[in-house]
């Protein structure tokens, strides 16, 4: 087994970490198409049985795989799909620690602009474009199971409610009120990189 002189991990451990990150990236990347198509069965397959989806005080907070997946068939969500809602996820920051992981990402919710001027894009047709309805910060908590990585908890907050002091260029630093059980500085993570 080859060992990297910088961190002491074997090549196999480093490869597993890469595979873990790819699996977590895929879980996050699958959220937009599954939300935009109402794929409740898929949604149920990626959450733990006791998962929690916390979107803040203004929205329901489903707990449990079935309740979270049930949001896909909610009549209001179905109306949003019919009106062309599009979830657009940014590349996440992922920290894997053994059999748990935390990821921080942005999510944009786009909706068709129904009042803007019609414009043409060469070779792509005409449209009124889209309107950015909301941009949110997400904290995803994952656990490794016998079936692969699953979402244990997802906390989502609109950026308008996260103070300027909690944002840095390219890095979102989420304070205790948003991600209390994250990694600490004594685990070797610099302040600006803490999640």
pLDDT in tens, 70-108: 999 999 999 999 999 999 999 999 999 999 999 999 999
Instruction: State how far the alpha carbon of 57 is from the alpha carbons of 38, 51, 67, 164, in Å.
Output: 23, 18, 17, 21
Is 0.85 topped by the overall pTM? no
Judge contact between 61 and 70, C-beta under 8 A.
no
CA-closest candidate to residue 181, choices 143, 129, 134: 143
Q: Sorting pLDDT into bands at 50, 70 and 90, what band is 159?
A: confident
- Helix boundaries (H) for 38-144: 40-46, 65-70, 75-82
């Amino acid at each position: 087994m080859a060992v990297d002189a910088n961190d002491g991990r074997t090549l196999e451990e480093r490869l597993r970490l890469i595979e873990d990150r790819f699996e977590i990236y895929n879980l996050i990347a699958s959220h937009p198409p599954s939300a935009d198509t109402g794929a409740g069965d898929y949604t149920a397959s990626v959450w733990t049985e006791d998962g929690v989806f916390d979107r803040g005080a203004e929205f329901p907070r489903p707990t449990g795989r079935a309740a979270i997946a049930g949001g896909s068939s909610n009549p209001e969500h179905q109306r949003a799909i019919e009106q062309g809602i599009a979830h657009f996820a940014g590349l996440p920051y992922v920290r894997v620690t053994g059999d748990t992981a935390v990821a921080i990402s942005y999510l944009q919710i786009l909706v068709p602009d129904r009042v803007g001027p019609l414009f043409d894009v060469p070779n792509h047709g005409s449209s009124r474009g889209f309107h950015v309805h909301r941009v949110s910060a997400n904290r995803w908590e994952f656990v490794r199971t016998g079936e692969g990585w699953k979402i244990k908890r997802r906390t989502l907050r609109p950026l308008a409610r996260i103070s300027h002091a909690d944002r840095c260029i390219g890095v979102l630093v989420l304070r205790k009120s948003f991600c209390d059980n994250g990694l600490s500085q004594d685990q070797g993570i610099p302040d600006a990189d803490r999640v």
